[in-house]
Amino acid sequence: MTFIMILLAVVGGTMLSIQAAINGQLGSKVGVFKSAFLTFSIGALVTGLLILFFEPKHALTLMDVPKWQLLGAMFGVPYIVIMVLAVQRIGAAVATVAVIFGQLTMSMLIDNFGWLGNESIPFSMSRLGAVVFLGIALFFIYSSSKPKAAPAKKTLQQAAANE
């Protein structure tokens, strides 16, 4: 079951990269906030249908849970808006690796300290190594994606001297 969950998470990650690339293009044509609005509108519609047809009954409703837990829904908005902006400027690969770097770093803090009601998973050197290597990967992906400087135009004098 663990392997299936990891595989599903990888599939989810691939979908986020595709979404970021598409939303970056859409955002550059119609606007960042319109692109984000479309994402959330379609997402709300699809999720509503999934709830209607597949969600089992639960003892608590959204109004019964601690109110701080409802704030999690707010964190998707900055993510979508940031990605629409970032992909346009730095590309899908750099933006995605940067997001994963941020996710990994914060996730390890949440795990280590057991924040937000999660079970504590202690920090380790192998986890530190993962963050360091991902940071190095981010550096290399970013530095290899920078546009190369265009060759300087020859002046008329230099062109004449070469002939």
32-82 pLDDT per residue, tens: 999 999 999 999 999 999 999 999 999 999 999 999 999 888 898 999 999
With respect to residue 160, please indicate whether it lies within any of the assigned structural domains.
no
Helices 125-145 & 92-113 angle (0-180, nearest 10): 160
Stronger pLDDT, 160 or 31, i.e. the higher one: 31
Query: 3-class DSSP state for residue 77?
Result: helix
- What is the mean predicted confidence (pLDDT) over 17-35? 94
With respect to residue 141, please indicate whether it lies within any of the assigned structural domains.
yes
Tell me how far apart the alpha carbons of residues 120 and 63 are, in angstroms, rounded to a whole number.
27
With respect to residue 120, please indicate whether it lies within any of the assigned structural domains.
yes
- What is the mean predicted confidence (pLDDT) over 112-116? 95
Q: Is the pLDDT of residue 163 over 60?
A: no
Q: Is the pLDDT of residue 157 over 70?
A: no
With respect to residue 8, please indicate whether it lies within any of the assigned structural domains.
yes
93: amino acid identity, one letter? A
With respect to residue 4, please indicate whether it lies within any of the assigned structural domains.
yes
- What is the mean predicted confidence (pLDDT) over 18-23? 93
Tell me how far apart the alpha carbons of residues 114 and 126 are, in angstroms, rounded to a whole number.
19
Number of domains into which the chain is organized? 1
Q: Which domain holds residue 112?
A: 1-55+74-146
> Taking the alpha carbons of 91, 106, 80, 16 in that order, is the dihedral positive or negative?
positive
With respect to residue 162, please indicate whether it lies within any of the assigned structural domains.
no
- What is the mean predicted confidence (pLDDT) over 132-147? 91
Stronger pLDDT, 154 or 64, i.e. the higher one: 64
With respect to residue 140, please indicate whether it lies within any of the assigned structural domains.
yes
With respect to residue 68, please indicate whether it lies within any of the assigned structural domains.
no
